[in-house]
Amino acid sequence: MVLVDLSTGEISRKPCPEHITRDYLGGRGLGDYILLKHLKKDVAPLDPENILIFAAGLLSGTKMITTGRLHVSARSPLTGLIGTSNSGGMFGSELKGCGILALVIVGKANKPVFINIRSEHVTIEDASTAWGLERKEAAAKLLELAGDEKARAAVIGPAGEKMVALASIMFGPGHACGRTGLGAVMGAKHLKGLVVRKTSSVAAATPAAAVPAVKDYLAKLKALPSWEQWTTLGSTDSVLWTHQMGGCAAKNHSQVTFAGAETASGSAFKDLIVKHRGCYNCPIRCKADIKIDRGRHTGFEGERGEYEPLATWGPKCGNADGLASVYLCNLCDDYGVDSIGAGNVVAFAIDLYERGILTPEDTGGLALTWGNTEAMEQLLQQITYRSTPLGDTLARGMREAARIIGRGAEQYAHLVKGLSMTFMDPRAFKASGLGYAVSNRGADFGYVYAKPEYAYTPQQALDAFGTAKAADRLSEEGKAAMVRQCMCANAVVDSLGICKIPQFGMLLDFNLEEAAKIVTAFTGQPVTGADLLLAGERIVNVERLFNFRFGATGRDDTLPEKFTTEPISEGPCQGSVINLAPMLQQFYALMGWEQDGTVSAAKIKQLGI
């Protein structure tokens, strides 16, 4: 591990004890462990003492496919709780190739700087000329300053510099640590970015066993019917699918279907793809660059976007111009702002305007009506640069904005623990709903990835969760067990540095049997799926203990009242509400927690935390 103190300029190395990688693996688990062990209770998210960790996964940068992932952790400026976010790209593999499992950053520089990592040499360098630049220009400037145009850069944009609570850290086009606002932590430290260049590839511990294990994993992926879908459209067609399921969050959760959802689905602009792209060592290559040849953004070239951001800037904002959503997602990347969180807060503002809670006087004359993409673009810029009173208010995140605006705005702020909700309606996907409530980072599908509720067969659900009804997304049966397993499995995959798309989106390997074969092959240490799930459980518990240190309680495991009291009024899920309380008690019991959601002393002891 490399420790960097930006206040003193000190840089030191420390070996990562073997028992830590055994218990926490790397990536997210390692970041969580460091935060729980070292971050004191009185440190605010934007204080210099907040600890910012860039951690590669245990398998990052190896010859295992899709292992370019990197995890960033700190106390979140958005939620005040665990800040945890994962990105693809090349940065994780480069960092690991420098022999660095984690870069641990504290302090605050007295001027803008970047951290330059060239194999084993780590230096802090002046980034004054990059300050103020947007993503593309900032990354290019840092590479120029580092004197190596082939290196990889991670940067913040203007949103991070201005400590917007929704600020992301960008690792390339479409590669972001977006959720929980960690870009603002970099801004507070005057850290514009990092540049990394490895000089060797990471050798697998047991290459003889690793090669066939990887081949077997890849062969299983290629044999799946979903291979074609993921390699051509990525996640994008799920926008239309969620609408068809009657479970989308259109117009800030006021509708579960949306006429025009198909415009934000990748099939609608498949013809615009210029080339497919992927992260480090990824044969799936789910990303794509497109060139727009129609509509208001004709001539625009950029990244195609993914399901959640496209859905957020599309149906959630009442916008039926999918190509405008593509453009706005790219703008979020350029500004260095979480494309989900920013789209959500814009949808929230539109909802308030349409209801008369925000007036033209509040918006400076901006007509924030559903689908007004020009107004959405202007508001996004105002949030990024905090250039108007409304922009500055929304830049604090939805929870704080609702508090400042008042006038009943709180009831339209759909969030959990300060993090705004992703696109699936909890009443239509009940495991995902429970997952939103209990997720340590707040209301986010990616924390639990409860895909078995709609992708498992009844027999698979019976075998895995004790009831065939767990495969019925509208049933509450078996969902506590499902969320427990999926949540722990996600913690493992984020810590190994593998992408969730092959592991969960395609293989549905939530018992981690396939992952265990890979870990065994690469480390030479035999592990089972159950061993890995135990590590995942430990990681989830560490995050929960961290949250409780900073004031969270079981009462934060909740959903906005709308979803527990107001039945869905249309579509295939008509009449559905989510009955959260019994699922929550079942979940706590399965986790071995107290009835009020506290992590029990017995659980802490059992997990060796």
Residues that bind ligand SF4 (CB under 6 A): 66, 88, 278-279, 282, 284-287, 499, 501
Q: How far is the CB of 200 from ligand SF4 (least distance, A)?
A: 22
Q: How far is the CB of 282 from ligand SF4 (least distance, A)?
A: 3
Q: How far is the CB of 442 from ligand SF4 (least distance, A)?
A: 22
Side-chain-side CA neighbours of residue 96 (13 Å): 27
Interior angle at CA 325, CA 572 and CA 248, nearest 5: 15
Q: How far is the CB of 142 from ligand SF4 (least distance, A)?
A: 22
Q: How far is the CB of 284 from ligand SF4 (least distance, A)?
A: 4
Q: In terms of CB distance, is 79 or 229 closer to ligand SF4?
A: 229
Q: In terms of CB distance, is 286 or 347 closer to ligand SF4?
A: 286
Q: In terms of CB distance, is 54 or 230 closer to ligand SF4?
A: 230
- SS3 label, residue 117: strand
Which H or E run contains 143?
Answer: helix 135-146
Question: What is the DSSP track for 459-477?
Answer: HHHHHHHS-GGGG-TT--T
- SS3 label, residue 103: strand
Q: How far is the CB of 88 from ligand SF4 (least distance, A)?
A: 4
Question: How far is residue 56's CA from residue 27's CA, in Å, rounded to a whole number?
Answer: 5
The CA-atom distances, in angstroms, between 418 and each of 77, 165, 421, 480 are 10, 11, 9, 23
Q: How far is the CB of 336 from ligand SF4 (least distance, A)?
A: 19
Side-chain-side CA neighbours of residue 10 (13 Å): 9
Q: In terms of CB distance, is 53 or 499 closer to ligand SF4?
A: 499
Overall size of the chain counted in residues: 609
Question: How far is residue 199's CA from residue 151's CA, in Å, rounded to a whole number?
Answer: 10
> At residue 440, what are phi and psi to the nearest 5 degrees?
-70, -20
Q: Which of 305, 339, 314 is nearest to 248 (CA)?
A: 314
Q: In terms of CB distance, is 71 or 414 closer to ligand SF4?
A: 71
Q: In terms of CB distance, is 285 or 469 closer to ligand SF4?
A: 285
CB 501 within 8 A of CB 284: yes
Question: How far is residue 82's CA from residue 32's CA, in Å, rounded to a whole number?
Answer: 8
Q: In terms of CB distance, is 317 or 499 closer to ligand SF4?
A: 499
Q: In terms of CB distance, is 287 or 399 closer to ligand SF4?
A: 287
Q: How far is the CB of 411 from ligand SF4 (least distance, A)?
A: 35
Query: Given CA atoms 362, 419, 108, 169 in this order, what sign does their dihedral have?
Result: negative
